[in-house]
């Protein structure tokens, strides 16, 4: 068995290296491509020999580098949170929004704009994260009621109910305040633009904690995939495992939604693509999802800059256009049943 497992381990490790190289290339492309044409030589020179008096260097450091870093951070968070929530709920159609994260973040952002006059992305981060966390706590609390606790079905039902309620409140607030709506719609579409270094530094600690929690949960997710009874027989505390997974999803998806807005299909589709490569083992599935998602996000962002020059198509729209057909193909191939 060990001899059979060794070639597969080597091939999966090689795949991670290939994805990491592809992600680096996508990051370089993200920094180089835009309305202002820059050569790769200029990009490299600005990274290693920064000159504040050079306008090309300013474009790289003040605009494109933060945008690229936000894309990487949000992608890692969305990919991991999608894989974790699908594994924890054993629901192949689950995405980070299942726990009401996106709806909670949206409501708190609207409240921040309408009541406190928040207009900066830095302000959105904290309101978005607080809303995501609050909604997830409510969903998990409702689903945990009763003797059996937070089962996958109860989580899905509670998440759908809370999401519908929060979206109704958000829509009501926006209909009565056109000024808030004008500001909110730019955040709601999902975008990597307009973020600065302070936004990134605020998000990094939360995402690092979420990544650690998600990777720690890999073996727990493998046990949960066998069913609750089998997981308990293997010595797994199902309630603790689900709580750790839920916390990881809240921290990761809350942070990503706060800094980039509610970007669709990344957390839903990427884990299925990763699963086609790795199989159901979350020890490999999670790292692959963490690399595939930012790769998709950066490529989608570059496509959005190119197809509508000199204007841009926001990355949330591009990922929906790319992700929807891919997801339909996966459904038709019936690859979604094995989570």
Q: Helix crossing, 282-306 with 197-216: angle to 10°? A: 150
| Backbone conformation region of residue 75, classed left if phi is above 0, alpha if psi is from -120 to 50, else beta | alpha
pLDDT for res 337: 47
Look up the pTM and report it.
0.86
Does 1.10.3470.10 match the CATH number of domain 89-261? yes
Cα distance between residue 317 and residue 325, in whole Å: 13
**DSSP code, position 98:** G
Mean pLDDT by 10 residues, the chain (339 residues): 67 93 92 76 77 77 86 94 88 76 85 80 75 85 75 78 90 81 72 77 89 93 84 82 86 84 85 90 95 94 84 83 78 56
CA distances (Å), origin 168, targets 103, 117, 196: 10, 21, 32
At 93, phi and psi to the nearest 5? -100, 5
Q: Domain segments of the chain: what residues?
A: 89-261, 263-339
Cα distance between residue 159 and residue 224, in whole Å: 20
Nearest to 302 by CA among 140, 145, 193: 193
């Amino acid at each position: 068995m060990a001899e059979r497992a060794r070639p597969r381990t080597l091939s999966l490790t090689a795949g991670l290296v290939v994805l990491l190289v592809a992600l680096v290339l996508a990051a370089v492309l993200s920094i180089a491509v835009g309305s202002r044409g820059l050569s790769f030589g200029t990009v490299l020179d600005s990274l290693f020999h920064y000159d504040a008096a050079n306008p090309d260097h300013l474009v790289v450091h003040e605009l494109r580098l933060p945008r690229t870093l936000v894309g990487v951070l949000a992608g890692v968070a969305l990919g991991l949170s999608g894989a974790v929530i699908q594994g924890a709920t054993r629901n192949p159609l689950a995405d980070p929004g299942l726990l009401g994260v996106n709806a909670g973040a949206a409501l708190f952002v609207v409240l921040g704009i309408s009541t406190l006059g928040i207009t900066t992305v830095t302000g959105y981060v904290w309101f978005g994260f607080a809303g995501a966390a609050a909604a997830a706590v409510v969903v998990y609390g409702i689903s945990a009621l009763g003797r059996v606790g937070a089962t996958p079905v109860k989580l899905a039902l509670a998440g759908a109910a809370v999401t519908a309620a929060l979206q109704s409140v958000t829509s009501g607030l926006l209909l009565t305040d056109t000024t808030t709506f004008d500001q909110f719609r730019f955040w709601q579409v999902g975008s990597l633009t307009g973020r600065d270094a302070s936004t990134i530094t605020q998000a990094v600690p939360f995402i690092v904690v979420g990544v650690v929690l998600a990777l720690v949960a890999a073996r727990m997710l493998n046990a949960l995939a066998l069913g609750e009874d089998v997981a308990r027989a293997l010595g797994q505390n199902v309630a603790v495992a689900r709580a750790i997974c839920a916390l990881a999803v809240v921290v990761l998806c809350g942070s990503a939604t706060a800094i980039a807005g509610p970007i669709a299909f990344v957390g839903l589709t990427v884990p299925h693509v990763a699963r086609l490569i790795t199989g159901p083992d979350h020890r490999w599935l999670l790292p692959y999802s963490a690399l595939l998602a930012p790769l998709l996000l950066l490529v989608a962002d570059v496509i959005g800059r190119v197809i509508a020059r000199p204007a841009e198509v926001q990355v949330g729209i591009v990922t929906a256009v790319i992700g929807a057909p891919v997801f339909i193909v996966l459904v038709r191939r019936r690859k979604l049943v094995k989570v």
